[in-house]
Amino acid sequence: ADGGPIIVEKLKNWTERNEKRIILSQIVSMYLEMLENTDKSKPHIKHISEELYTLKNNLPDGVKKVKDIMDLAKLPMNDLRIQRKA
């Protein structure tokens, strides 16, 4: 594909082990979603899917953590009530 890697570039910005586990859980979920529409009768596709499911089960729930971060980013910083609570 043109333009270089997409996913590997994102990992460079995440430095701490726990941060990388969060982003990795998102990447694994993305790959699993991509593989949903592929022919799983092919041995190599089946093997990759199984390995990704195993990896996903051993990673923390990154979806919840990403949602928490997105919710924080949406907080209106000019709201006095939020400022008091912070």
Instruction: Note the pLDDT tens digit of each residue in 58-73.
Output: 887 767 777 888 888 8
- Residue 15 CA to residue 17 CA, distance in Å, equals 7
**What are the distances in angstroms from CA 76 to CA 45, 70, 82, 85, 86?**
45, 12, 7, 12, 12
Q: Mind listing the pLDDT tens digit for each residue in 3-30?
A: 677 677 777 777 788 788 888 888 888 8
> Would you state the pLDDT for residue 1?
52
Q: Where are the domains of the chain?
A: 6-85
What is this structure's pTM? 0.64
